[in-house]
A = this chain, B = another copy of it.
Amino acid sequence: MSVTRVLSALAEPVRLSAIRIIWDGGEHCVCELMQRLNATQSRMSRHMGVLKAAGLVVDRRDAQWVRYRRNPDLPQDIVRIVDAVLAAMDKPGKIAA
């Protein structure tokens, strides 16, 4: 769980938007994310792979879907980073992602 790794993972618009969606605590399949973020399948899948490798999310097979959700074991210091980033994104003057 490297800080730099986490920052790199967050420093990409599609991934950051995905985190924002996933941060609702629920589970989200790739098909949902790719539609909502207007990304191709392989693009979305790879971005989720990066987020997973960074330790930010975990996945689960559910029939033909793979459900991604926030990593429940994420250290507090990392959670604070993500929360701060998401909060900053919501401020006026900041374009989404």
Interface residues of chain A, those whose CB is within 8 Å of chain B, are 1-4, 7-8, 10-13, 16, 75, 77-78, 80-81, 83-85, 87-89, 91, 93-95, 97
Contacts and interface: CB of A to CB of B under 8 A. Distances in A.
Nearest to A77: B88
A77 B81 contact: no
A68 to B, nearest CB: 20
A91 B77 CA distance: 8
B10 A95 contact: no
Contacts of A93: 1
A30 to B, nearest CB: 22
A7 B77 contact: no
A5 to B, nearest CB: 8
Given A4-B16, A11-B8, A88 B78 contact: yes
B2 A85 contact: no
